[in-house]
Amino acid sequence: MATKTDPKTTAKADQKMAAKTDQKTAAKTDQKMKNIRIFDTTLRDGEQSPGMSMNLKEKIEMAKQLERMGVDIIEAGFAISSPGDFLSVKTISETLKDCTVASLARANKADIDRAWDAVKDAVDPRIHIFIATSELHMQAKLQMTPEQVLEQTIAMTRLAKKYCANLEFSAEDATRSDRKFLAKVIRAAIKEGATTVNLPDTVGYTTPEEYYDFLMDIRSRAPELDNVVISTHCHNDLGLAVANSLAAVRAGVTQIETTVNGIGERAGNASMEEFVMTLYVRKELYKAKTNIVTTEIMRSSNLLSRITGVKVQPNKAIVGANAFAHEAGIHQHGVLKNPLTYEIMTPASVGLTENNLVLGKHSGRHAFSDRVKTLGYALNDEELNIAFGKFKNLADKKKSVYDRDIEAIVAKEAVQVPKTFTLGGFVINSGSTITATAVVKLNRDGKSIEKVARGEGPIDAAFNAISKIVGKELHLEDYTINSVTEGVDALGDARVVISEKGGAPYSGRGLSTDIIEASINAYINAVNKIYYAEDTKGIQ
């Protein structure tokens, strides 16, 4: 006799079965997925490019965010290149707990010793040595014969291996190297203990098809590569860095070197967010995945822009301001009906949240602290107090305080250098028929110093007055002002880059609803960075 079943129960059971089958299929697909390690070189290749230099506090903050995002290996710097680089690699090595920390080293003893000194306290230290293998680089740069390069590779990988089990060897300019010679060098490096072999496209010269063929060819010439991690490091001179990195995944590479926002030498490196999201969106095509927590992508991109003051172009894939904006009416209509019409990934999947109104002038310290934590920032008590004070000031002036305003305040506080100078006050007199004059008062060590200066406009006059107080001849290299959110009461975010004659550039940021005050704060912030660098003996 047939039993009667409740259609609702049957439907529920069907759904459960389907969900289970989906989970099983997902788990099976996941098992079949290759895991691609992300080696982040934002703090090394990225930081060494023009306008991207960061001080110690900024590097530590960025490194913590990279760790939170799930990066597998962080190249924290090039330890021998300066005392500042050494200290930042060392501090990052001591601070991070969840990822491998690497330092770059040329294939010589001094570099390797310094790199090891800097990374040895990391939970998983790595030394990354490199030597050029192309005819052009060997002759013009190294002035070494191929035999000498081979000998140096053997001696230096052997030395580095004595210090560090986790050893990466890079053949610089690999894609323009003689393949027979390159294979010889690689085999020697592996024999001496290299655990990762990186085959960079140093000058961004190759193309996806060619790179795929190159990697397959090198794998057949050096079969030992099957026993180590093969890595790529692609530059973007022809705009192909991400495409080449994806071709490398198809050729069996399991470590990809990237940077946040694609920063790096010349046209930059493969962009982390573009590479990661391509694997995420097209996993069935590449059968590969990364450990990156994609919802942290936006925050990493914003933090880097805030620290360096360099914004990404609006149409930049994944993290550009327009990446998820739909202007055309026909597109908007489609997206409202079904987001899949014009969106291949959700804004939320990269951590782009609604610009929610979160707090107002009646919100207390507790609510503020909670929101700061939710946004992913860990401030100590003092930093939280300062940030809360700034939030209160802002909430007094601005009707609506958004997440982006809070992030702007907090991210700035987290990378704050000691405040040698603080703003005591200012009065500006300017107009179309008079020369702008500024009176600025700064505080230093409990004393107040006031100076008057003229300028081409109110901001120039204010900057001149600060230079007089500081007693340094400061040159303004760059100045920009943007609004953090929209509206007449938006927070102005000013950035200046200043330098002393012949000295390094220092950038400063300032926030205020008054753009002159934001600019003055940015200038003072840059001056304080100069003092911080001097106090820490050239550490920048």
Number of residues that bind ligand KIV (CB under 6 A): 10
464 with 493: CB under 8 angstroms? no
Residue selected from 55, 152, 157, 170 as contacting ligand KIV according to rule CB under 6 A: 170
Q: Which two tokens stand for residue 312?
A: 């990404």
Q: Smallest distance, Å, CB 233 to Zn ion?
A: 6
Alpha carbon distance 313, 273 (integer Å):
14
Which residue in the shown chain puts its C-beta closest to Zn ion? 45
Is the Cβ of residue 91 or residue 177 nearer to ligand KIV in the bound state? 177
Tell me the DSSP string of 462-509: HHHHHHHHHTS-EEEEEEEEEESSSSTTPPEEEEEEEEETTS--EEEE
Q: Smallest distance, Å, CB 247 to Zn ion?
A: 18
Is the Cβ of residue 19 or residue 110 nearer to ligand KIV in the bound state? 110
Is the Cβ of residue 132 or residue 247 nearer to Zn ion in the bound state? 132
Q: Which two tokens stand for residue 80?
A: 């021998």
Supply the angle between the helices 56-69 and 297-308 in degrees, to the nearest 10.
170
The 36-55 site mask, x for binding Zn ion (CB under 5 A), equals ---------x----------
Q: Which two tokens stand for residue 328?
A: 């055309």
Three-state secondary structure along 301-369? Answer: HHHHHHHHCCCCCCCCCCCCCCCCCCCCHHHHHHHHHCHHHCCCCCHHHHCCCCCCEEECCCCCHHHHH
The partner in contact with residue 159, picked from Zn ion, ligand KIV, none with C-beta cut-offs of 5 to 8 angstroms by kind, is: none
Q: Which two tokens stand for residue 265?
A: 């030498």
Q: Is 196 in the site for ligand KIV (CB under 6 A)?
A: no
Q: Smallest distance, Å, CB 260 to Zn ion?
A: 15
Is the Cβ of residue 219 or residue 235 nearer to ligand KIV in the bound state? 235
Task: Characterize the bridge pairing of strands 229-233 and 196-198.
Answer: parallel
The partner in contact with residue 268, picked from Zn ion, ligand KIV, none with C-beta cut-offs of 5 to 8 angstroms by kind, is: none
Three-state secondary structure along 199-219? Answer: CCECCCCCCHHHHHHHHHHHH
* Span near ligand KIV by CB under 6 A; candidates 194-202, 213-221, 284-292, 405-413: 194-202
Q: Is 75 in the site for ligand KIV (CB under 6 A)?
A: no
Closest Cα to residue 157, out of 114, 118, 107? 107
Handedness of CA 171, 174, 177, 178 (dihedral sign): positive
Q: Smallest distance, Å, CB 47 to ligand KIV?
A: 12
Q: Is 46 in the site for ligand KIV (CB under 6 A)?
A: no
Q: Smallest distance, Å, CB 210 to ligand KIV?
A: 17
The 102-141 site mask, x for binding ligand KIV (CB under 6 A), equals --x-------------------------x-----------
The partner in contact with residue 172, picked from ligand KIV, Zn ion, none with C-beta cut-offs of 5 to 8 angstroms by kind, is: ligand KIV
Alpha carbon distance 160, 139 (integer Å):
25
* Span near ligand KIV by CB under 6 A; candidates 195-203, 209-217, 293-301, 527-535: 195-203
Amino acid identity of 291?
A: N
Residue selected from 45, 58, 460, 493 as contacting ligand KIV according to rule CB under 6 A: 45
Amino acid identity of 431?
A: G
Is the Cβ of residue 170 or residue 464 nearer to ligand KIV in the bound state? 170
Of residues 222-241, those binding Zn ion (CB under 5 A): none
Q: Smallest distance, Å, CB 172 to ligand KIV?
A: 4
* Span near ligand KIV by CB under 6 A; candidates 196-204, 281-289, 401-409, 423-431: 196-204
Q: Smallest distance, Å, CB 470 to ligand KIV?
A: 37
Closest Cα to residue 120, out of 177, 76, 152, 173? 76
Alpha carbon distance 43, 58 (integer Å):
10
Alpha carbon distance 364, 444 (integer Å):
31
CB atoms within 10 A of CB 335: 15
Is the Cβ of residue 233 or residue 398 nearer to ligand KIV in the bound state? 233
Is the Cβ of residue 42 or residue 202 nearer to ligand KIV in the bound state? 202
Q: Smallest distance, Å, CB 235 to Zn ion?
A: 6
Q: Smallest distance, Å, CB 115 to ligand KIV?
A: 12
Alpha helices in 354-457 (DSSP H): 365-374, 381-397, 403-414
Q: Smallest distance, Å, CB 233 to ligand KIV?
A: 5
Alpha carbon distance 237, 235 (integer Å):
6
Q: Smallest distance, Å, CB 201 to ligand KIV?
A: 8
Return residues touching ligand KIV (CB under 6 A).
45, 104, 130, 170, 172, 198, 200, 202, 233, 235
Return residues touching Zn ion (CB under 5 A).
45
